[in-house]
Structure 1
Amino acid sequence: MRWLPAWPGAMHTLVFLSTRQVLQCQPAACQALPLLPRELFPLLFKVAFMDKKTVVLRELVHTWPFPLLSFQQLLQECAHCSRALLQERPSTESMQAVILGLTARLHTPETEAGTQPLCRKHALRVLDMTGLLDDGVEQDPGTMSMWDCTAAVARTCIAQQQGGTADPGPAPIPVEVRVDLRVNRASYSFLREALRSSVGSPLRLCCRDLRAEDLPMRNTVALLQLLDAGCLRRVDLRFNNLGLRGLSVIIPHVARFQHLASLRLHYVHGDSRQPSVDGEDNFRYFLAQMGRFTCLRELSMGSSLLSGRLDQLLSTLQSPLESLELAFCALLPEDLRFLARSPHAVHLKKLDLSGNDLSGSQLEPFQGLLQAAAATLLHLELTECQLADTQLLATLPVLTRCTSLRYLGLYGNPLSMAGLKELLRDSVVQAELRTVVHPFPVDCYEGLPWPPPASVLLEASINEEKFARVEAELHQLLLASGRAHVLWTTDIYGRLAADYFSL
């Protein structure tokens, strides 16, 4: 079958183009759905979602002939369309149409559903809306963020419960709705009501990934108690400034999720250099609870004071980690030495040491850690690690042994143009490397103090003319080495760090 481009960057088959043509007249397409082979429904869904054919989209969900409707399966690149919609912000119109279709299905009497050919043998049991893009950047008004999606699904759950008992007759077939939920102080009460409403309701809300931002401790615990232990994959608590005392209250409620694969905790303060009796007791209790996890593969402890305590934390875990984020954790040389010798090192796919000073006595143990992780490491983040040319050049021999590395983050380090060129030349052997986020070279600043604090590198103005020449030279070097496909950029906001589950 011949490939035909519909627009730049996407390739479509004739089947796709024919399907798109069928959906041009939405009323006629809806009437034709019962006559079409159910094997066409996945492609019909993708085209309708892409082209915002909301009337057809709603009817597709209403009459879906399979037990599972999964965004991750239907909106990825497929044999008929190379466009991966999961890598784009979803259209608000399309998302609302899916939710309306689900509501219509739940409100269709059992006897009426049985008369529809597509619904005789199959009933939609699971609507999986997980995996939507959540890049954290400013969104287009016509697209839906994860916050918006959480609110829309929550409203549907509450409305279903409030209006579900009015109609006599058989209860509708239950549908499990799998979602990634985002919650903060403003949306907490709303989401809690939705989770409560879904218990015993035909529309059962099932959270895969939970992210709570700046939520009080008691509210966090209340939400965790409402979540299904069999569904939850990730807990992400952000900007909560928990402290060890707060963490000791929350962690047993998290530890009951035995299948949890990712735990992200931020701002867990408790200075190990001035320990208190209460602080020690809380830390030991936290460690004991961490030992309950059997499936944990990712741990993030960003901006938590772990100086000299990494061995205690990692030794409690029952299985090796594949992703470890320790940004701004004030790590000491002994912490890095322990990690290099631990069972975790040889399994690491993602490592984030941003904000830890690697320029002095930490450099050698850091190099040992890279050596241990070289065979598996895919993503390495070293933002603001005070690495100058001397440290980078000393690390290049072991860094280039990370032959599977796809992403390298070096923003906020005092590197010169000469250092960056050396990195570019040596990284030619890393065939999988796709993205390098590099700092503005120190050559491009005026009157820079030495050594320059990270705050100066981040805030001081640069000479735009000098930097334009740097960019041009780097581009020419990439072309000359046959590496034009590798992105070298100073943009730390446009391309967020890869999620562990996408590696």
Structure 2
Amino acid sequence: LQLCSQCVVLHQDSFLSTLKMSIRTPPTLLELAAKRLLRDQASAIAALEYLPAELFPYLFVMAYRGGHRPQLLKAMHPPDHAPTRAMGLKAMLDALDVLLSQEVQTEVRPRRCKLRVLDLSNTGANFWDIQHPELLTDGTSDCAQLQPQHGAPLAPLEVFLDLNFNERDRDKFFMHIIQWAQQREGLLHLCCKALRISEVPFQRVRRVLDRVQLDCIQEVEVHCTWDLPTLGTFALYLGQMSNLQRLSLPDIDVLAEEDEEQEEEGDFSQFLSQMLRLWHLRELHMHSPSFFRGRLDQMLRCLQTPLDELSLTYCQRLTHSDLTHLFQCPNLRQLKILHLLGLSLADFSPEPLRVLLEAVAPTLQDLGLDNCGMADSQVEAILPVLSRCHQLRKFTISINNFPVATVEKLLRHTTGLRSLEVEVYPVPLECDGTQGTVNQERLALIRAELTGTLR
């Protein structure tokens, strides 16, 4: 049992996980084999043609980082490139061109041409910062499970690249990879599964989105503030992401001028029309969705499939009508994760929330009701159904004003949840000191009381 100035946290003993983190992971057999080969550069060069493809990533990175085996690097890729990140990436692409040319020239694949998947996701321009580039040799990637819009078969070589716009000039790097892939159409398939945008002008993002196959994208995260017209423009791309599974929407600035309300409504309608095309959406995250005020029901009606995860944060401006539609949405009846952070439930009937929790009790694994302004009576209403959420692993209800009696009731009703690992509660009202401080002596006494209740 742990109490801090903001919340009470209950969690399982983390000794084993800490112990595991403190033990250094031993090298793999592939790493050991690559190190052994590098001891004799001449033998390594002679053996390149017969080495298994799984060994190449380790051998390449070790030779590159060592900096004193130039002949081996020359044998693995063209020699006229300086050892920089950009040139290192270019060298890798040049080496792939050699493999691709062998694909065309020979009917029987040589032993050293086993490469099926090149995974550059989560690396981007920092290609050489990773421990090892993930080069997979079997045709078992999940890209094959997607449903291409054009029905064309995937190429023998799949290249995975995350579109992560989080720094300057990243779009230039992406355009270089995209142009390289387009020039080799038919020989490889470029698959961009994740799109993340962080404080980058959308015009620069559009240049890249215009050149990639949008139906490969499965995850979209936007961490910036847009106006509604920008969201409407982005929606035209969003609607083409037919295999999208996870969507995180940004802050949206709503224009205040009355004469622009009609324009905003058109942008919002365009966004909704594209949401209707997302047949595989499973996770939805909305941060400060003030532009849904009074029309959240329109958004919810666009959901084509049941969600596994819903997260709404900082959404105090939603109306009671919005909340009613939210809790009654039929596509929220199979949720595994429900986060309603900063949702204003003050003076709101607890019945709709209780009904939703009743529906998701068999599947719910993570429930967050932090900073929702909940009253004791609202907590009382959900206690019986909360005790039946037997799959629940994490429950947080911090930053709410509860007396110690309410916290104790929550503890007693969650005692039988055998899967529960973490519970986060607010510091009880009895611990309030002067000028917003916490009475530490009173807190210590309550900690002892709650620990006894937990035991």
Report the Cα distance in structure 2 between the residues aligned to 1:294 and 1:109, rounded to whole angstroms.
37
Deviation by residue 1:419-468 (Cα, 9 ceiling, x = unmatched): 333322221222222222333443443136xxxxxxxxxxx544556555
- 1:486 is matched with none
Aligned match of 1:128 in 112, 116, 119?
A: 119
The reply on whether 1:231 has 2:242 as its aligned counterpart is no
CA pair 190-176 structure 1, distance change in 2 beyond 3 A: same
AA matched with 1:228: Q
TM-score, normalised via structure 1 length:
0.63
Q: Secondary structure at the match of 2:423?
A: strand
Counting matched residue pairs gives: 386
RMSD: 4.6
CA pair 129-212 structure 1, distance change in 2 beyond 3 A: same
- 2:151 is matched with none
CA pair 34-193 structure 1, distance change in 2 beyond 3 A: closer
Report the Cα distance in structure 2 between the residues aligned to 1:28 and 1:177, rounded to whole angstroms.
31
Report the Cα distance in structure 2 between the residues aligned to 1:324 and 1:272, rounded to whole angstroms.
28
The reply on whether 1:304 has 2:289 as its aligned counterpart is yes
Whose relative contact order is higher, 1 or 2, with alpha carbons under 8 Å and at least 6 apart?
A: 2
Report the Cα distance in structure 2 between the residues aligned to 1:470 and 1:361, rounded to whole angstroms.
30
Report the Cα distance in structure 2 between the residues aligned to 1:254 and 1:154, rounded to whole angstroms.
31
Aligned match of 2:62 in 31, 54, 66?
A: 54
Report the Cα distance in structure 2 between the residues aligned to 1:284 and 1:18, rounded to whole angstroms.
56
- 2:320 is matched with 333
Aligned match of 2:181 in 193, 199, 217?
A: 199
Whether the aligned pair in 2 keeps the contact of 1:179 and 1:208 (CA below 8 Å) is yes
AA matched with 2:208: L
Q: Structure 2: where are the runs of 5+ without partners?
A: 1-15, 67-71, 77-84, 131-154
Whether the aligned pair in 2 keeps the contact of 1:174 and 1:201 (CA below 8 Å) is no
- 2:400 is matched with 413
- 2:304 is matched with 318
Deviation by residue 1:350-371 (Cα, 9 ceiling, x = unmatched): 2221111123214332222212
Q: Structure 1: where are the runs of 5+ without partners?
A: 64-94, 131-145, 157-172, 449-459, 481-503
Aligned match of 1:434 in 396, 418, 421?
A: 421
AA matched with 1:127: L
Whether the aligned pair in 2 keeps the contact of 1:207 and 1:228 (CA below 8 Å) is yes
CA drift of 1:242 comes to 2.6
Runs of 4+ with >6 A deviation: 15-21, 32-37, 56-59, 98-101, 109-114, 271-275
Deviation by residue 1:139-193 (Cα, 9 ceiling, x = unmatched): xxxxxxx5xx22224999xxxxxxxxxxxxxxxx985331333213624443443
- 2:20 is matched with 9
The reply on whether 1:266 has 2:274 as its aligned counterpart is no
CA pair 100-250 structure 1, distance change in 2 beyond 3 A: closer
Deviation by residue 1:197-249 (Cα, 9 ceiling, x = unmatched): 33335686532111101222323333322332242101111222332x22112
Aligned match of 1:209 in 189, 194, 206?
A: 194
Report the Cα distance in structure 2 between the residues aligned to 1:370 and 1:272, rounded to whole angstroms.
36
Report the Cα distance in structure 2 between the residues aligned to 1:29 and 1:299, rounded to whole angstroms.
53
Aligned match of 2:372 in 368, 385, 388?
A: 385
Larger Rg computed on CA atoms: 2
Report the Cα distance in structure 1 between the residues aligned to 2:40 and 2:277, rounded to whole angstroms.
53
Aligned match of 2:329 in 323, 335, 342?
A: 342
- 2:236 is matched with 252
Report the Cα distance in structure 2 between the residues aligned to 1:125 and 1:400, rounded to whole angstroms.
49
- 2:10 is matched with none
Whether the aligned pair in 2 keeps the contact of 1:353 and 1:383 (CA below 8 Å) is yes
Q: Secondary structure at the match of 1:177?
A: strand
- 1:84 is matched with none
- 1:178 is matched with 160
- 2:273 is matched with 288
TM-score, normalised via structure 2 length:
0.69
Report the Cα distance in structure 2 between the residues aligned to 1:154 and 1:181, rounded to whole angstroms.
17
CA drift of 1:300 comes to 1.9
